[in-house]
Structure 1
Amino acid sequence: MRGRIEKIFGTWKRSYGLRRMRWRGLAKAAMQIRLTAIAYNMNRSLKIVAAG
């Protein structure tokens, strides 16, 4: 389980610029995480649909 989660966080850091938080404040940082998760899931779903 941990390996799957670490892979996702590594991708976020490497490809989506989450080495640092862009904005200050907990609410803004949470929004950045949500937007990154949406972008990751959209990209992943496109790859799954293209493969199937």
Structure 2
Amino acid sequence: MTDAELADIGLTRADLHVAVAVPFGRDPTVKLRAIASERADTIEDLARQVG
């Protein structure tokens, strides 16, 4: 995926490196989902503070 495509789903290329480091046998998409969700929550919190 391109960096733009990753950004569309709330991830960065560095997030993929974090997910690859997940222990063998664990689902890396769980980690990616958590990263994207946390980032979205942070952005929403910042938007509320500005508004």
Paired residue for 2:11? 9
Higher relative contact order at CA 8 Å, sep ≥6: structure 1 or structure 2?
Answer: 2
Structure 1 residue ranges, 4+ long, deviating more than 6 angstroms after superposition:
none
Structure 2 stretches lacking a partner, 5+ long? none
How many residue pairs align between the two structures?
45
Structure 1 stretches lacking a partner, 5+ long? none
1:9-49 deviation line (CA, Å, top 9, x unaligned)? 34x62xxxx25223135x61110110001110110001100
Same amino acid, percent of matched pairs: 9
Kindly report the root-mean-square deviation, in angstroms, between the aligned alpha carbons of the 2 structures: 2.7
